[in-house]
Structure formats: structure tokens, C-alpha cells
Amino acid sequence: MADPSPIDPAPLAFQKHDHNRCRTHSVEAVEAACRARGLRLTDTRRRVLEILLQDHRALGAYDVLARLSDAGHPAHPPVAYRALDFLVANGFAHKIERLNAFVACPAPDDGHRPAFLICRDCRTVAEAAVPPGDGVLGEEARRTGFTIHAVSIEAEGLCPGCAPS
Amino acid sequence: MADPSPIDPAPLAFQKHDHNRCRTHSVEAVEAACRARGLRLTDTRRRVLEILLQDHRALGAYDVLARLSDAGHPAHPPVAYRALDFLVANGFAHKIERLNAFVACPAPDDGHRPAFLICRDCRTVAEAAVPPGDGVLGEEARRTGFTIHAVSIEAEGLCPGCAPS
DNA sequence: GGGTGATATGTTATCTTATACCGATTCGAA
DNA sequence: TTCGAATCGGTATAAGATAACATATCACCC
């Protein structure tokens, strides 16, 4: 079934939107990807994904852990880190390096390469899509013989909700 | 005096170069900047800068601390963090978010906005200059009312020296 | 030279983030 | 049903960062 009004993930986080739909969409996309790729979306992993999907804020591993614990789940650090590693490794969540924290990916289905707008106040994170091609870094890498494995592009600032009026 | 063959900082880190000259250039540039801007390049700050300048590798705060300690300097964590904060705040060093580590800036004199090529093996870091204009993120920020304060662009991979032959 | 406010240092303690490691369990395919 | 790989539950500890507070130093003005 074709989605009648596809979600545009980019600016979503900073705008009012039907977050239930947003969340459901993400969970379903992750489920589908796991089926397609033979990955095991175990109970812990699913719970962590749902915790991250509660809103578009970045959560530290220990925040995730606390929420697991509240829900009666065993809660030692490796539990959270293992689930987060799984989600990040498979593109279902992203690590925000500037915050040492994690966000669910709003569009886990396409193979995009994300850049992030990170609110330093409320930790809400929006994704912007990086156009294909490696830009400045790719050029420099070719010139110097450097092999790029992963790129992170992160902008920190204030979201419209937190900006001084 | 005009520099007869100005250093091109970008690809330097991955290539053989006269590192003594490179280091001296940086220290002098920092000294000049401090004089010009009324900043105090205190003993600790200078030592930390010199530690970072030993090569183009990123060092963790505790690595820096250990080297201060080796040199007989008092070595509690805040000592290193304060000096590093000073250097970073004034553009004399950069924090590499992906490594939670720090590198000296090879060109502390111009007001460039850097992007980094980071070798995951030897932690050597090269800078590439980001062209002015905010690119994808700037566009997205304008669209959504986000105010950008700082951007970090980091590519992790293998430098020519560490790439499998 | 002496006072004063701002800046920097020395130090303790603690907090946050992340991983190494080991044994038990579960899953999926042969 | 047995094997190997992946996952989990748990302990312990490493690595990164900051809060707080007393002391010292600097830059400036009188």
C-alpha cells in the first residue's frame, strides 16, 4: 500500500505533527527492515526503540536505562548499550556525538545520510538529508589518500521553541 | 615578515612535513593571537598546547593530563580541562567529538571553519576548510527557524599510513 | 606602593558515559 | 538434536567530565 501523504522527516521534529503516526511509521519500518534483513528485533531492542521514539529528543544511554528499569526490565549499562549499538549499527537510530546521546531515526527505511540540527536547550534533534557526494571532505580525502568510513555532521543551536522571543 | 612558502594546513597531517616548523608556526600564531586579543597564555595553557602540537594526533584529556604529570606539572583533571577549554574556546585547538579528544589547530590564525578527517587507527586528524555558507544545514535551519551556533563535520576512516596495503 | 575585582589555579570529590569480561541462554540451521 | 553464533544477565571497572571552594595571581586604578 502506498502511503497517501508520505512523511517528510526533515523538519518534523520542530513542528507540531501527529506523533503517534510518526512513531508507528518508524516502528513498522524497523520491523519490516528486520524481516527483510534477517535481523532479530528482540524485546529489549524493541523497547529501547520505543523509548527513543517517545519524542524527538536525544536520550543518553543512562536515560534509556532508567526508563527500561521503570518498566521492570533488567537495567545494567550493557543492556542499554547493546540495544543502542544494534539500533545504530542498522540505521534505526543515530548517535549524536556532541551530546553522547541517541535519537531514533525518523526515516529508518531509506538509506539516507543524515545531518543533524540539535537544540542545546531541549535536546530535540531534527534530521536534514545530506545530498549524495562527499563534498569538501570527499575531495580532501581523495587528495590525501584517506578512506572515509563514516561522516557525522551536527549543528548545535536553538530550535524555534527554545529561541528567545 | 611574509612567510615565503605559506603552510597549506589541510592535507598536512597525513604527509611528511617539517613538523618542527609546523609546530613553531602554530605556537607563534597562538602567541600573536593572544597578544592581539588580550588573552593570557599561561604556563599550563602553553604546555597543553605544546603537548597537543607534538604531532597531529588527537589526545584525550587524560592523555594530556598524564603528559603534564610526567613533566612535573600538577595533574588533576580540571587542570587539563581548563586549559583545553581555553584553547578550544579561542580556536587554538579543536575538540573531536567522535573521539572525545582534542587536536591542536594547525592554522590558529585564520578564522576558518574546519571539517576533520580522523584516522580511526592512529587518531591522526587532518583539517579541511569548509567553504563559507551553511550548506544543507543552513538551508534546513532557515526553513525551520533553527538558530545554528556551532557546526561539527567529522569523517572517520583510515589515513594513507594505516590503510591496508 | 596598595587596594580591588576579575581571572586563573590547586584540590577534593563526584558524576556521567562506556566497555571488558564471563557464564548462561536462546536461536536457527545442518 | 546437536552445534555454532548471537544474545542476554550480571559484575566490575575504565574513561571522560564537572561541581564546588579555597588560594593565588594579574591588570588596573588610585
Q: What is the pLDDT of residues A3-48, one digit of tens each?
A: 444 445 445 788 888 999 989 999 999 999 999 999 999 999 999 9
Residue A131: closest CA among chain B residues belongs to which residue?
A: B136
The verdict on A165 touching B (C-beta cutoff 8 Å) is: no
pLDDT over threshold 50, residue B4: no
Mean pLDDT of A93-121: 92
* End-to-end alpha carbon distance in chain B: 43
pLDDT over threshold 90, residue A93: yes
Using a CB-CB distance cutoff of 8 angstroms, which residues of chain A are in contact with residue B125? Answer: none
Among A111-125, B3-17, B38-52, B132-146, whose mean pLDDT is lowest? B3-17
What is the spatial distance between Cα A57 and Cα A74, in angstroms, rounded to a whole number?
A: 23
What is the spatial distance between Cα B106 and Cα B108, in angstroms, rounded to a whole number?
A: 6
Mean pLDDT of B18-46: 94
pLDDT, residue B11, reads 56
Q: Which residue has the higher pLDDT, B95 or A15?
A: B95
Q: Which residue has the cell 544543507?
A: B136
* End-to-end alpha carbon distance in chain A: 43
Residue-averaged pLDDT of chain B:
90
Q: Which residue has the higher pLDDT, B22 or A49?
A: A49
pLDDT over threshold 70, residue A1: no
Interchain proximity A163–B147, CB inside 8 Å: yes
pLDDT, residue A7, reads 46
Mean pLDDT of B77-85: 98
Q: Coil, helix or strand for B56? A: coil
Q: What positions of strand D are covered by protein, i.e. any atom < 7 Å from a CB?
A: 6-13, 15-20, 26-28
Residue-averaged pLDDT of chain A:
90
Which of B155, B110, B113, B116 is closest to B132 using CA atoms? Answer: B113
pLDDT, residue A2, reads 41
For A37-75, b/e burial (b = at least 16 CB within 10 A) is eebebeebbbbbbebbbebbbbbbbebbbebbeeeebeb
Closest amino acid to nucleotide C19 (CA–C1'): A78
The dihedral sign for the CA sequence B97, B100, B104, B109? positive
Which of A14, A22, A30, A10 is closest to A131 using CA atoms? Answer: A10
**Between residues 8 and 47 of chain A, which touch chain B (CB distance below 8 Å)?**
10-11, 14-15
The CA–C1' separation of A149 and D25, in angstroms, is 48
Mean pLDDT of A106-124: 90
Output the pTM of the full model.
0.92
Which of A140, A149, A159, A162 would you mutate first to test chain B, the one with the most B CBs within 10 A?
A: A140
pLDDT, residue B35, reads 93
The verdict on A121 touching B (C-beta cutoff 8 Å) is: no
Phi, psi torsion values for B129, nearest 5 degrees: -85, 135
Mean pLDDT of A101-130: 91
Q: Computed over its alpha carbons, how large is the radius of gyration of chain A? A: 17
DSSP string, A75-137: --HHHHHHHHHHHHHTTSEEEETTTTEEEE-S-TTS---EEEEEETTT-BEEEEEPPSS-HHH
The grid cell for A128 is 536534514
What is the spatial distance between Cα B115 and Cα B102, in angstroms, rounded to a whole number?
A: 14
Confidence class of residue A99 from pLDDT cuts 50, 70 and 90?
very high
The verdict on A146 touching B (C-beta cutoff 8 Å) is: yes
Q: Which residues touch strand C (CB under 7 A)?
A: A 40, 60-63, 76-78, 81, 100-101; B 39-40, 42-45, 74, 76-79, 82-83, 86
pLDDT, residue B2, reads 41
Using a CB-CB distance cutoff of 8 angstroms, which residues of chain B are in contact with residue A128? Answer: 136-137, 139-140
The rounded Cα B163 to chain-centroid distance in angstroms is 23
Whole-Å CA distances, A6 to A3, A22, A117, B76, B101: 6, 10, 21, 54, 40
pLDDT over threshold 90, residue A112: no
Q: What is the pLDDT of residues B9-26, one digit of tens each?
A: 445 788 888 999 999 999
Whole-Å CA distances, A28 to A22, A80, B130: 10, 21, 38
Share of chain B above pLDDT 90, in %: 73
Interchain proximity A141–B117, CB inside 8 Å: yes
Mean pLDDT of A75-84: 97
Using a CB-CB distance cutoff of 8 angstroms, which residues of chain B are in contact with residue A159? Answer: 144-146
Q: What is the pLDDT of residues B107-121, one digit of tens each?
A: 887 778 899 999 999
CB atoms within 10 A of CB A135: 20
Mean pLDDT of A43-57: 97
Q: Which residue has the higher pLDDT, B125 or A11?
A: B125
Q: Computed over its alpha carbons, how large is the radius of gyration of chain B? A: 17
